[in-house]
Amino acid sequence: MIYLDYNATTPVFPEVKEAILPYLDKTFGNPSCIYSLGKEAKEAIERAREQVAHFINASPEEIIFTSGGTESNNTVFKGILWALREKGRHVITTQIEHPSVVNPAMFMMMELGFEVSFVPPDSEGVVRPEEVEKAIKKGTVLISVMHANNETGVIQPIEEIAKIAREKGIFFHTDAAQSLGKIMVDVEKLGVDLLTIAGHKLYAPKGIGALYIRKGTPFVPFIHGSGQENNHRAGTENVTFIVALGKACDLLKEKLEKKENLRLAKLRDKFWQSLCDKLEVVRFGHPQYCLPNTLFIGFKGLSGHEVLQKLPEICASTGAACQSEKAGISNILLAMGVAPSVGKGAVRFSLGYPTTEEEIDEAVNLITERLKAI
C-alpha cells in the first residue's frame, strides 16, 4: 500500500503514541479533581496548551481544546456569531470552504436570520482580497477564509484579508486544519482573531482539535455544562488526546524549523513532472501558492473514481475525504470555473512526512502502467 492521502488524515507519530500511554494507564484522573491524580491530569492539559500555543505563536490562555476541526468551526459560527448578533448579522466566507464552515454558515442564515455572502475564488483557486472587501457591508461582523484549501492545497492571502478586516473592525477567522504542520503558521503574522486546528491532520489521533481565540474576541460557548476550559467549552477534558495534540505540535514545529517540508515539495514536484512526461494530465490550483505536499490533478478522458479503482494499491482521493464517495465534479473545481469534462478526472494526491522517494517512483509506475492500458 502506498499512502498518498495525508490531507484526509495522518497516522499517529510513534512519539505521540509513547507520550499518551501514561494517560491511558496510571495518570487517569479527572482534571477537575483536587487530589494528585486530578492535578497531574490538569498539569498535562496545561503543558499541552502551552505546546499548541507555542506552535502558532499564541498565548496559552487563547487556546481551547475541542473534539476536532468541525467542532472548532461550528463554535466560531454558532458561538462567536451569537455573541456578535447585536452588532450585526452579516457574514462573509467563500465558495471553497470545508463543509464544517459552509453548513454552520447556512444554519445561521436559514434558522437564525443571518446573511451570508460566499465569495468565489479565481480560476487558480485563490480568493482575492479585493473581492472579499467588495462583499463587506454595514452589519458585517465576521469574515472566515480558510488558510489552505483541502483539495487544491492553495494557500490563501490571509494576511491581506485580515488587514482589511482589522481596518473595518470586523473579526476574522481562518480554518488552518490543512496548513498547520505543512507550513509555518503564526497568528500574529497572519493577523487573525480565530484559528481552527484539527489533530488528525497533525499526526495526532482523530477526535481532538483546538480553537485559537484572540484575547478580547466576544464569545458564547457552543457547548454548555460545567466550567471546563475556562468556561469556554464544557465537558470533562480528553486528557489523553490533548497530550497527543501537544506532543504532535512540538514535533511538527521541529520539522518545520528543519525545513523538512521542503523535501515534501521536491517529492511532490518530481511526482507531477513524472506524470506529465508520461500521461495527459492537468493540474488544478495555483502552482506557487500551494502547500508543499498537495497535488490535485485531472486525468484527461477519465473519471477520478475510475482512476482510483484501477489503483487499489494507492490511497488517494477524488477530493475532500468527507465527500469522496460522491460521484461527479468537486464543488471546489466548479467554483474555480473548471469544465466538468476536465474536473471529473480529478484526483488529489497528498504526501506526508513518512512518504519516501521510492513510494513516489512506484506510484508513478503503477499509474502509468494501469492508465495507459485503459
Check: CB of residue 39 under 8 Å from CB of residue 271.
no
Which set of grid coordinates corresponds to residue 175?
480554518
Residue 220, classified by CB atoms within 10 Å of its CB into exposed (0-12), middle (13-18) or buried (19+), is middle
Question: Which amino acid would we find at residue 279?
Answer: L
- DSSP element (H, E) containing 90: strand 90-94
Which set of grid coordinates corresponds to residue 301?
478522458
Which residues have CB under 8 Å from 180's CB, separation 6+?
55, 56, 197, 198, 201, 202, 252
Which residues have CB under 8 Å from 232's CB, separation 6+?
64, 213, 219, 221
Which residues have CB under 8 Å from 145's CB, separation 6+?
93, 94, 97, 119, 127, 132, 156, 158, 161, 172, 173, 174
Check: CB of residue 296 under 8 Å from CB of residue 151.
yes
Strands 346-350, 294-299: pairing kind: antiparallel
Q: Which entry of 33, 249, 276, 322 is annotated as an active-site residue? A: 322
Phi, psi of 330 (to 5 degrees): -60, 140
Q: Is 315 a catalytic residue?
A: no
* HSE (side-chain half, CA atoms, 13 Å) at 223: 18
Q: How many other CB atoms are there within 10 angstroms of residue 370's CB atom?
A: 16
Q: Which residues are catalytic?
A: 322
